[in-house]
Amino acid sequence: MSTAAPTDRPPSVDTLARSLAPSGLPHAICVDLAREAIAAGDARSAPARAEAFTRTLLTPVVNATGVLLHTNLGRAPVEIARSAHPVNVELDLGTGERGSRQHAVGQLFARLCGAEAAMIVNNNAAAVLLVAAALASGRQVLVSRGESVEIGGSFRIPEVLEQSGATLVDVGTTNRTRVGDYRRALTRKTADVAMVLKVHPSNYRVEGFVEGTAVAQLAELGVVIVADIGSGLLDATCPWLKGPPPAWLADEPAAVQTLAAGADLITFSADKLLGGPQAGIIAGSADLVAACGRHPLARALRPGGLTLAALQATALSYLHRRAATEIPFWRMVATPVGELRTRAETIEAQCPQATAVPTDALPGAGSAPGATMPSYGLRLDGDHLSRLRSLEPPIIARVREGHTYLDLRSVEPSDDRLLVAAVS
Ligand SMILES: *Cc1c(COP(=O)(O)O)cnc(C)c1O
């Protein structure tokens, strides 16, 4: 039932597929797209289909949103330099025997956190699941009603505990939980409590008549205390920065201080405030970390060599006190606003359409909700998001009140020339 003139015969799948070669897509994909175009009775749509397909693939982008840890952009940007050589992931170079894949990076994180031991899993959700399964399966876990939270992408504390085989016992009320509430739950006739789980409600803040129980108080209960600190701030004093810790970090729990206050184990993400690749860290008492490592789930949740190599580089940057220059996230945080302003004005001078304006950047990834840091960027009239996304590399910006904003705090200075080219 073709409506096309008989002379306007569709090209063969093969001819059409070969015409898509300039897209750079593999031939097999070009054949699929050519077939789809012909089946839709619209052979001429094939190049557009190839372009649309290309845009579904992962590609480096310029993050001009001002959200430094953008979840849609994979959170912390990491530089990965790696040769094709194998890595001694599980080979002990001292003895030549099989070693532990957890040893190399685990010891570095133990040192950084002030813990006896540490181990690495795929993300923090995996860390919480493994800790609960290894330490509390078939037993009770006390959680404050105010901390029985959902954190982004359907990580919900009650559901994670259910999957671990542990029984969640709610303690206190949604707005106030005191140490006495935990004590009552511990001394109930039916109590078989394996641990208290304290969860940092990372991505929202409740204000007013609220009260939680500090780790130092929980530590007096005489039961295992596990703290999911979420964002992975290593040390509240930020010794890797030149000045004092930024004010916006004030409410973020930190690994060193949480363990020093008496937590037996902490868990956190590696790709939030730590600024590393996606991973989860479990750190604390050697016995408890070893128990997690022995659980069958540890094998299912173990990280690969690529992750471990990137995480080792992150840990070494902190230990060398070079985090502020070597870790992209902290480099962005540490950039003085005056420097961002100079960059914005340099771009403005080359692009009459762009106006240099002060902006507010955000840490992102649910860390320090509501907090902003002073920044500088460029404002364009109108909504240009779609056009900016179509560039090579794509530029991701934000629109507010009919203007497009390109925030420079999340852009590498070497990418400013891409913004100039995009805007002019
Ligand atoms: C982010 C976060 C998680 C989930 O961490 P992933 O690394 O994304 O799995 C869990 N708990 C808290 C408190 C968090 O902030």
| pLDDT, tens digit (0-9, with 9 covering 90-100), for 169-186 | 999 988 889 999 999 999
Return d(Cα 342, Cα 109) in angstroms, integer. 37
Q: Which residue has the tokens 């919900």?
A: 156
For the CA of 269, the closest atom of ligand 1 is 7
Where do runs of H (alpha helix) occur along 214-284? Answer: 215-218, 255-260
Instruction: Report the nearest-CA residue for atom 11 of ligand 1.
Output: 230
Answer yes or no: is pLDDT of 101 > 60: yes
For residues 74-109, one letter each, b for 16 or more C-beta atoms within 10 angstroms of the residue's C-beta and e for the rest, the string is ebbbbeeeeeeeeeebeeeeeeeeebebbebbbebb
Question: What percent of the chain clears pLDDT 70, i.e. is strictly above it?
Answer: 98
Ligand 1 pocket test: pick from 130, 131, 228, 258 the residue with the most ligand atoms within 8 Å of its Cβ.
Answer: 228
Burial class (CB in 10 A: 0-12, 13-18, 19+), 23: middle
Return d(Cα 410, Cα 419) in angstroms, integer. 12
> Mean pLDDT over all residues of the chain?
94
Return d(Cα 311, Cα 318) in angstroms, integer. 11
Residue 246 DSSP class: P
Ligand 1 pocket test: pick from 149, 269, 307 the residue with the most ligand atoms within 8 Å of its Cβ.
Answer: 269
pLDDT band at 375 (very low <50, low <70, confident <90, very high): very high
What element of type H or E holds 196? strand 193-199
- Flag the least confident range among 79-83, 216-220, 325-329: 79-83
In the reported structure, the alpha carbon of residue 241 is separated from the centroid of ligand 1 by a whole-number distance in angstroms of 24
The stretch 207-234 carries a mean pLDDT of 92
Burial class (CB in 10 A: 0-12, 13-18, 19+), 370: exposed
Residues with CB under 6 A from ligand 1: 123-125, 151, 155, 199-200, 202, 228, 230-231, 269, 280, 366
Instruction: Report the nearest-CA residue for atom 1 of ligand 1.
Output: 230
In the reported structure, the alpha carbon of residue 71 is separated from the centroid of ligand 1 by a whole-number distance in angstroms of 12
Res 7: pLDDT = 55
The stretch 56-81 carries a mean pLDDT of 94
Res 6: pLDDT = 52
In the reported structure, the alpha carbon of residue 189 is separated from the centroid of ligand 1 by a whole-number distance in angstroms of 33
Answer yes or no: is pLDDT of 382 > 90: yes
Answer yes or no: is pLDDT of 207 > 90: no
Omega of the bond prior to 60 within 30 degrees of 0, cis? no
Q: Which residue has the tokens 């509501």?
A: 370
pLDDT in tens, 392-423: 999 999 999 999 999 999 999 999 999 999 99
- What phi, psi does 277 have (nearest 5°)? -75, 170
pLDDT in tens, 234-257: 999 999 999 899 999 988 999 999
Return d(Cα 199, Cα 212) in angstroms, integer. 11
In the reported structure, the alpha carbon of residue 155 is separated from the centroid of ligand 1 by a whole-number distance in angstroms of 7
The token duo for 45 is 């749509």
In the reported structure, the alpha carbon of residue 73 is separated from the centroid of ligand 1 by a whole-number distance in angstroms of 16
Conformation bin of residue 409: beta by default, left when phi > 0, alpha when psi is -120 to 50:
alpha
- The winner for highest mean pLDDT among 3-12, 82-91, 321-330 is 321-330
pLDDT in tens, 292-313: 999 999 999 999 999 999 999 9
397 with 387: CB under 8 angstroms? no
- Flag the least confident range among 22-26, 145-149, 352-356, 403-407: 145-149
Ligand 1 pocket test: pick from 128, 150, 155 the residue with the most ligand atoms within 8 Å of its Cβ.
Answer: 155
Answer yes or no: is pLDDT of 390 > 60: yes
Res 275: pLDDT = 97
pLDDT band at 203 (very low <50, low <70, confident <90, very high): confident
Res 3: pLDDT = 52
Query: Among residues 284, 205, 275, which one has the least CA distance to residue 238?
Result: 275
Res 81: pLDDT = 77
Q: Which residues pair with 228 in a beta bridge?
A: 199, 267
Res 84: pLDDT = 86
Return d(Cα 6, Cα 53) in angstroms, integer. 31
The stretch 146-159 carries a mean pLDDT of 86
The residue among 213 and 2 whose pLDDT is bigger is 213
In the reported structure, the alpha carbon of residue 72 is separated from the centroid of ligand 1 by a whole-number distance in angstroms of 15
Residue 119 DSSP class: E
In the reported structure, the alpha carbon of residue 372 is separated from the centroid of ligand 1 by a whole-number distance in angstroms of 20
pLDDT band at 266 (very low <50, low <70, confident <90, very high): very high
Res 269: pLDDT = 97
Question: What percent of the chain clears pLDDT 90, i.e. is strictly above it?
Answer: 86
Instruction: Report the nearest-CA residue for atom 6 of ligand 1.
Output: 124
Instruction: Report the nearest-CA residue for atom 12 of ligand 1.
Output: 230
What element of type H or E holds 287? helix 286-294
User: From the CB of residue 408, how many other CB atoms can be counted at a distance below 10 Å?
Assistant: 29
